[in-house]
A and B are shown apart, each in its own frame.
Chain A
């Protein structure tokens, strides 16, 4: 149907080497969800505003809805599925559970990934830093208070 060449990408996905053959126009979120079955990453606004599709690319947060899968070639991608290890939740996930930092849960994977990135950049962020950093992640249930409390506990 098209003479446009496909491309082969190789990436480290949640710590494991993976490969895929993709169309150049394919978006990272679709490759994660449809090829690799990692449906924890959510699509919501589709224009980089809401943060629901946040994944970490080489440790930094990106909107997977507006990132070409081709740009993950040769890089490390971490999704919400890659956080728990040996059946143990990550400390950010535990804090969200302990503080009840979710309502419908749709924004939670992106929110958790954003917090992972925040704490990697700044292990002890101020309240102001937390608010500013997470201002790019939207919770339509408006459950921000519990989320903020969870992150504040982690920032100590």
Chain B
């Protein structure tokens, strides 16, 4: 099915893209990989008169390492680029592995991390692990840039802290402290995860489990792997096409055990 008619803009700078969206306000949207947006436009769930393609903006591309070990991922990095990038494979193997398992190869080739986070479809893989890794998102508007912890970015289903007209420009992932480990495991019968669990184990033996896809935003359990099953009973969860709330809480316990095992391996 065809989307409704729109005008396509292809700016080459962030300033130009921000100005275009500001000019057309509610009738404009940023457009990156399109793996979520085009499906919604085709189904006419969303409708915009102006689509601002940001893929020609070089500043939004690329994956680089800062001197302090922080991995900087451009908002337009695709899941495939992240999965196959030597820096990510070496510094954040758990994140490279997650990216290699997102949806199918065609979605990984076209879909961007920035788009994935901004769309905030709850059944997505990246948010839980990015929360566990204490990642930060950097957004820009005409006034300048601001940085927000990933843990504060997703507010609910399809809802983020990104303001109207603001553009997510990059994701910063600090290095894990010495001795800390992270892992991610997900399960679903469809291409999207029914539940995904990211574990983080610090050198002192402290554990955090970030539960993705179970509700509108990632939820955190701070407890030992042995305590997860009991703690999962208190998690907010929805019945949906991916399974019942009870089934998802069961998955949390199973996946938490697997992530803990991976951290300790």
Residues of A participating in the B interface, judged by any CB pair closer than 8 Å: 2, 4-5, 7, 23-27, 30, 46-49, 51, 54, 57, 60-63, 66-68, 70-71, 114, 117-118, 133, 135-137
Contact = CB atoms under 8 A, between A and B. Distances in A.
B4 to A, nearest CB: 7
A51 B1 contact: no
Interface of B: 1-8, 10, 34-35, 38-39, 41-42, 51, 53, 55, 80, 103-107, 109-110, 191
20 contacts: A4-B7, A7-B8, A24-B5, A25-B6, A25-B41, A26-B2, A30-B2, A46-B1, A46-B42, A48-B35, A60-B109, A61-B109, A62-B109, A63-B106, A66-B39, A66-B42, A114-B105, A117-B105, A133-B105, A136-B107
Contacts of B35: 48, 66
Contacts of B8: 7, 24, 68, 70
A133 B109 CA distance: 12
A10 to B, nearest CB: 14
Contacts of B105: 61, 114, 117-118, 133, 136
A149 to B, nearest CB: 21
Contact of B2 (A27, A60, A70): A27
User: Top 5 A-B pairs ranked by shortest CB distance?
Assistant: A136-B104, A24-B8, A60-B109, A25-B3, A63-B106
A52 to B, nearest CB: 11
B106 A136 contact: yes
Contacts of A62: 106, 109-110
Given A23-B5, A66-B35, A67-B110, A49 B55 contact: no
Contacts of A23: 5
